[in-house]
A and B are shown apart, each in its own frame.
Chain A
Amino acid sequence: MIVRKPYANPYAAGVALGLVLLTAFAVMGHGIGASGAIASTVAAGVEAAAPAHADANAYFRNWTSGGRNPLDSWIVFEVLGIFAGAFISAALAGRLSRTVERGPRALTRERMLWGFGGGVLMGFASRLARGCTSGQALTGGALLSVGSWVFMLAIFAAGYAVAPLVRRQWT
């Protein structure tokens, strides 16, 4: 039987993540991100499937102009690193498992539908806000960027406001 190790102390893990972010600032000159790689993947997919359509779209042109490959960017490699690092940590701690995480009262099918819907909202919102919890809340938060703090406080406000409506999914 695999023994699952307990999670790290949140403050210790936070310091470690902060040092990763600090290193990014010091050596790359910018912070870290995540949703940008998701958008790059979409841009690359549309560029491959319908190049004329991608070139006609003013938003995709941010990724594809000048014959660039949208996947040839730092954020894509950083997210590949996230996959590798998370896999290593989960494997070492015995936490690799093929499951659907949900609250004790939620049905799997329900959880998957809500999950997809929530993902659509976050994918859209991260483009509108020019980043997500990584590129805006964490990175911009540490740089005291005004827009990043607006974004972060709005996330918590909306999250707490809507939480009672989806309680069945989680508790």
Chain B
Amino acid sequence: MTGLSESLWLALFLGVGFGFFLERAGLGSSVKLAAQFYLTDLAVFKVMFTAIVTALVGLAALSALGVVDLARIELPRTFVLPQLVGGLVFGVGFVVGGYCPGTGCVGMVSGRLDAMVVVAGMLAGSFVFAEAYPLLATFYQATPLGPVTLPELVGIPGWAGTLAVVALAGGGFALAERIERRHVLPSPGCQEAP
């Protein structure tokens, strides 16, 4: 047995941070996750878009400082139709199941038995995909655009795309706060004494 390579240790360490802060945010709770779709608790949107904006702006800053070479970061390849259909099926699964894969792992380890069942379903669903792959291979490879970004697709500079997403997120956060305030009802746990 050789020891773990440096990159595996690194992945383990980053995973610890990822799991820790997902749990801190409350995203190990299916009821809280599902509340996103009933507009009663928009933590999913807020956490996700704050993380996206932080990494996006951070990358731009590190790149400007010459610390990170953006060209060396692996950009996922785009396949429009399979990712559109995949997103639609995933969205149905998310609101029905209540966890996504990462948050399912968080829920599982904090004792949520429903999360264990959801993750078991994910194992089964991945198995079904692999078994059906001969039938799906053509669609899986359909409509390839390669590794392409939104600013490249629209034909604007990268920094303009970054600013647009930051502005979109800012507007989204303001809207999310307004929507949540509308839904605030006194719950037994946080009622003030009369």
Contact with A along B10-41 (1 / 0, CB 8 A): 11111111111111111011111011111010
A149→B48 CA distance, assembly (Å): 13
Contact A17 B117 (CB under 8 A): no
Contact A101 B161 (CB under 8 A): no
Please indicate the chain B residues that have their CB under 8 angstroms from the CB of A127 in the complex.
Answer: 86, 125-126, 129-130
Contact B110 A122 (CB under 8 A): no
Contact B128 A13 (CB under 8 A): no
A90→B23 CA distance, assembly (Å): 6
Contact A158 B92 (CB under 8 A): yes
A134→B121 CA distance, assembly (Å): 18
A-side interface size class? 35 or more
Nearest Cβ distance between residue A67 and chain B, in whole angstroms? 16
Please indicate the chain B residues that have their CB under 8 angstroms from the CB of A14 in the complex.
Answer: 25, 46-51, 54
Contact A86 B106 (CB under 8 A): yes
Whether, in the assembled complex, A51 has its beta carbon less than 8 Å from a beta carbon of chain B, the answer is no
Contact A119 B94 (CB under 8 A): no
A88→B109 CA distance, assembly (Å): 10
Please indicate the chain B residues that have their CB under 8 angstroms from the CB of A116 in the complex.
Answer: 97, 117-118, 120-121, 124
Given contact pairs A25-B59, A85-B18, a sample of 11 additional A-B residue pairs in the complex whose CB atoms are under 8 Å apart: A14-B48, A74-B8, A81-B18, A90-B111, A100-B113, A101-B115, A133-B103, A142-B52, A143-B73, A147-B83, A157-B88
What are 9 A-B residue pairs whose CB atoms fall within 8 Å in the complex? Answer: A34-B105, A38-B101, A81-B16, A82-B109, A116-B124, A122-B122, A125-B85, A147-B79, A159-B37
